Amino acid sequence: MKSAENGTTASLPVETDLRDPSLYVNRELGWIDFNQRVLEEALDARAHPLLERIKFVSIFSSNLDEFFMIRVAGLDDQCTAGINERSVDGLVPVEILEKIRDRVLAQLRQRNACFFDDLCPALEKQGIAFVRTASLSRQQQELLQEYFRKEIFPVLTPLAFDTGHPFPFMSNLSLNLAIELEDLESGSFRFARVKVPGILPRLVRLDQIDGLDFDDDRIRLLWLEELIEHNLWQLFPKMRVLQCYPFRIIRDADIEIEEDEAGDLLESIEQGVRSRRYGKVVRLDITPDMPVSIRNLLVNNLEMFERNVYEIGGVLGMSALLELLGIDRSDLRDDPFVPNNPFDAKPAGDIFNALRSGDFLLHHPYDSFKPVVDLIWQAARDPDVLSIKQTLYRVGSNSPIVKALMFAVEQHKQVAVLVELKARFDEENNIIWARALEDVGAHVVYGLPGLKTHAKLTLIVRREQGRLCHYLHLGTGNYNTLTARIYTDYSYFTTNKVLADDVSELFNSLTGYSKHRKFSSLIVSPLNTRKWALEMIQREIEWQKHNGSSGIILKMNALVDEEIIRALYRASMAGVKIDLVIRGICCLRPGIPEISENIHVVSIIGRFLEHSRVFYFNNGGKGELFLGSADFMPRNLDKRVETIFPVFDPKLVESVRSDLELVLRDNRKSWVMNPDGSWSRKRNDRTATDSQRLFMRRSVRRKKNKKTKVN
């Protein structure tokens, strides 16, 4: 086969079966590979300062918890129900679970070796030490016992288990102590459970406890469960504590709502969030020293299978290491970064006036998210603004954007907000904001039945010189000021009438009974995103056939959809050069001779989470650029309200294409996918390119240039 580079095409081999399982990577195992790349950031001493490496250990651990709560829980259900349907790569659920278990156990051993053998000694050299109670002097231990009595003891609730006490309930993600006791009066043996309270910090700062003095300035940390274990005698008077074993459980946390039967979706979601505590156990973490008798007691009473038990040495629940980032040691953290704000130089901060002069495209977090917040606040205060319509998926707590919307209602503007209550693990925040918006009189809707609304849209209607003008913000990321500092995303500000009309029609569909199904420029899931993607890929195939001028660059969080992958395979076989920047799961295998040899797949794992979705098509040399909220996964194409929008300004198109090329040149934070589905670091020691660092430098340069012009 001839490649795209020489401008010729190749015919499709007659016998090629693009449904062959060997052409695909399993979705779940692809996610395990992604989390391995996260772990590698902690393992690489050159990659990040010490506390940032700790952060990646925490992220790896919390990622894994969520994976079990959702994905493994679903596979476990299939196994229990005897479902043996094969995935696109040919595996049945029980085989997938076995492979997940083997890989996860290996990763946990790797994580623990990294933390205990590498990071802990390195922290100690920097004056941050994890200590054991036994290493303290007798006087210090007595002072610690007093601290326990005052600060910890009142929060604990020991629960017995015997004929008179039912097996205690244990909530999702709870860390517990299984305790064997001997009754000193009767001589009988007892079993009890104590929950390590999540309301308290997992890491106790001994150097901050009054009266507990040390002869140096080191920061000393003690795991809360060890402090509890050494003071169990205070909880069980007249009992001898024989043994104590920590264990942790993870439950199925996926919420299933029958919307047709849910009269009030808000209340149904609230009930679903509460029910997460009671989902079936999908993983039991124990330490290797737990005896078989207690292990069996837990397995039987938690009604789980032996395959759900994971023996983990050391500390359980290491996502809690994120608490270490609260230590005031800037020398062990990334250098602070203040993003550029392109609107700073605009007169009087008038964003409306700036947008009338042309479209703006911001690249977060290198460009500040503040203009997005400022846009909503300016609209809320402006007497000429008549209405604001917005979708909210993940806004976080203490959201300035929601507060601006509430203020806009108080200023007698029409405010319509679609709050997606089913944003997984953000339901509670969204419920709070939905109620707050309803209380002030905003029009709040919860989306279309059966579909999550994942689109990121804002439409502002303003009266100007006797006519109505529309201002749009369209994004690839959420309206969340916290994640906007650490997620890479694009924000598109425009007054384009064609796009504004499309967004207006979409809001009417989301909030009312409009059945508008055709849009002039907006691509909308589940209506036409799949069709659009296949047509765009096919168009590049046609360009390649006629003159060899073709090319595709796609940047997403995940590439899973089988139909899209087959289309990309066909494009590669036709000679189209395809570059894929996939942060997470990629089920396509690149570099297979005669099939995907023209496809190159990379993944960037760095200081910031690569979150933007970008779609660039060469279009015979007249490049077309689209941005949006959708990955190429079945759920994004068929089961969500997603939007993908064109960028019309040629300068902005060229700017993003240049960004993509820089990302593709990255050889410091980049991983390359191999034909067998494995991943390798992309290294070139002679010419180092770190795309995120270069984007930050560009932002700093632009700030300096603005100051120079002002002076």
Give the CATH number of the domain where residue 477 resides.
3.30.870.10
Examine the domain organization and report whether 199 and 298 are in the same domain: yes
In the prediction, which pLDDT does 263 show?
45
Q: Where are the beta strands (DSSP E) in 232-273?
A: 239-251
Of 270, 301, 332, the domain-final residue: 332
Tell whether the model's pLDDT for residue 33 goes beyond 50.
yes
Is 158 inside any structural domain?
Answer: yes
Examine the domain organization and report whether 545 and 514 are in the same domain: no
In the prediction, which pLDDT does 597 show?
97
Of 520, 546, 581, the domain-final residue: 520
Tell whether the model's pLDDT for residue 273 goes beyond 60.
no
Q: Where are the beta strands (DSSP E) in 341-477?
A: 360-364, 385-392, 414-419, 443-445, 452-453, 457-464, 467-475
Tell whether the model's pLDDT for residue 168 goes beyond 90.
no
Examine the domain organization and report whether 634 and 499 are in the same domain: no
Is 312 inside any structural domain?
Answer: yes
What would the mean pLDDT of 545-567 be, rounded to a whole number? 96
Could you give the C-alpha distances from 211 to 151, 201, 229, 460, 475, in angstroms and in order? 14, 20, 22, 58, 53
- How is residue 52 written in tokens? 């940032």
Examine the domain organization and report whether 493 and 537 are in the same domain: no
In the prediction, which pLDDT does 397 show?
81
> If pLDDT is split at 50, 70 and 90, which confidence band does 9 have?
very low
In the prediction, which pLDDT does 67 show?
96
> If pLDDT is split at 50, 70 and 90, which confidence band does 1 have?
very low
Domain that holds residue 488: 342-520
What would the mean pLDDT of 499-515 be, rounded to a whole number? 89
- How is residue 655 written in tokens? 């700017």
In the prediction, which pLDDT does 164 show?
72
Residue 454 annotated as catalytic: yes
Give the span between the Cα atoms of 69 and 425, in whole angstroms: 11
In the prediction, which pLDDT does 268 show?
53
* Tokens 């502002």 belong to residue: 460
Gyration radius from the chain CA atoms = 28
> If pLDDT is split at 50, 70 and 90, which confidence band does 8 have?
very low
Instruction: Give the other-Cβ count within 10 Å of 334's Cβ.
Output: 12
Examine the domain organization and report whether 324 and 416 are in the same domain: no
In the prediction, which pLDDT does 348 show?
52
Is 664 inside any structural domain?
Answer: yes
Examine the domain organization and report whether 506 and 367 are in the same domain: yes
Is 575 inside any structural domain?
Answer: yes
> If pLDDT is split at 50, 70 and 90, which confidence band does 429 have?
confident
In the prediction, which pLDDT does 129 show?
96
Is 625 inside any structural domain?
Answer: yes
Give the span between the Cα atoms of 160 and 175, in whole angstroms: 17
Q: What is the pLDDT of residues 327-362, one digit of tens each?
A: 999 999 999 999 999 887 655 568 999 999 999 999
What one-character DSSP code corresponds to residue 335? Answer: P
Tell whether the model's pLDDT for residue 422 goes beyond 80.
no
**pTM score over 0.85:** yes
Examine the domain organization and report whether 604 and 505 are in the same domain: no
- How is residue 547 written in tokens? 């003159």
Q: What is the pLDDT of residues 59-100, one digit of tens each?
A: 999 999 999 999 999 999 899 888 899 999 999 999 999 999
Nearest Cα neighbor of 604 from 521, 515, 695, 525 is 695
Is 104 inside any structural domain?
Answer: no
Q: What is the pLDDT of residues 637-693, one digit of tens each?
A: 999 999 999 999 999 999 999 999 999 999 999 999 999 999 999 877 678 899 999
Examine the domain organization and report whether 279 and 372 are in the same domain: no
In CATH, what number is assigned to the domain containing residue 249? 3.30.1840.10
Is 306 inside any structural domain?
Answer: yes
Catalytic residue among 454, 473, 600, 611: 454
Instruction: Give the other-Cβ count within 10 Å of 696's Cβ.
Output: 20
Is 84 inside any structural domain?
Answer: no
**52-56, 211-215, 627-631: lowest mean pLDDT where?**
211-215
- How is residue 537 written in tokens? 């890929």
What would the mean pLDDT of 423-434 be, rounded to a whole number? 68
Q: What is the pLDDT of residues 582-617, one digit of tens each?
A: 999 999 999 999 999 999 999 999 999 999 999 999
Burial code (b: 16+ CB inside 10 Å, e: under 16) for 583-606 equals bbbbbbbbbbeebbbbbbbbbbbb
Examine the domain organization and report whether 531 and 590 are in the same domain: yes
What would the mean pLDDT of 152-171 be, rounded to a whole number? 88
Tell whether the model's pLDDT for residue 21 goes beyond 90.
yes
In SS3 terms, 15-75 reads as CCCCCCHHHECCHHHHHHHHHHHHHHHHHCCCCCCHHHHHHHHHHHHHHHHHHHHHHHHHH
Of 302, 332, 362, the domain-final residue: 332
Tell whether the model's pLDDT for residue 6 goes beyond 70.
no
- How is residue 225 written in tokens? 């469960």
Examine the domain organization and report whether 321 and 358 are in the same domain: no
Q: Measure the N-to-C terminal CA separation of the chain; round to a whole number of Å.
A: 59
For the four alpha carbons of 160, 163, 169 and 173, in that order, the dihedral sign comes to: positive
In the prediction, which pLDDT does 446 show?
81
Q: What is the pLDDT of residues 453-493, one digit of tens each?
A: 899 999 999 999 999 999 999 999 999 999 999 999 999 99
When divided into structural domains, the chain yields a total of: 3
HSE (CB half, 13 Å, CA atoms) of 657?
Answer: 17
Give the span between the Cα atoms of 349 and 344, in whole angstroms: 7
Q: What single string gives the DSSP state of each residue in 585-607?
A: -B-B----TTTTTTEEEEEE-SS
Tell whether the model's pLDDT for residue 695 goes beyond 60.
yes
Give the span between the Cα atoms of 357 and 346, in whole angstroms: 11
> If pLDDT is split at 50, 70 and 90, which confidence band does 619 have?
very high
Nearest Cα neighbor of 653 from 609, 702, 628, 617 is 617
Tell whether the model's pLDDT for residue 47 goes beyond 60.
yes
Tell whether the model's pLDDT for residue 281 goes beyond 80.
yes
Give the span between the Cα atoms of 251 and 407, in whole angstroms: 40
> If pLDDT is split at 50, 70 and 90, which confidence band does 254 have?
confident
**Average pLDDT over the chain, rounded to an integer:** 90
Give the span between the Cα atoms of 663 and 682, in whole angstroms: 12
Examine the domain organization and report whether 357 and 303 are in the same domain: no
Q: What is the pLDDT of residues 391-416, one digit of tens each?
A: 998 888 889 999 999 999 999 999 99
In the prediction, which pLDDT does 255 show?
57
Examine the domain organization and report whether 543 and 635 are in the same domain: yes
What would the mean pLDDT of 218-224 be, rounded to a whole number? 97
What one-character DSSP code corresponds to residue 115? Answer: I
Nearest Cα neighbor of 486 from 610, 378, 618 is 610
Residue 169, burial from CB neighbour count under 10 angstroms (0-12, 13-18, 19+): exposed
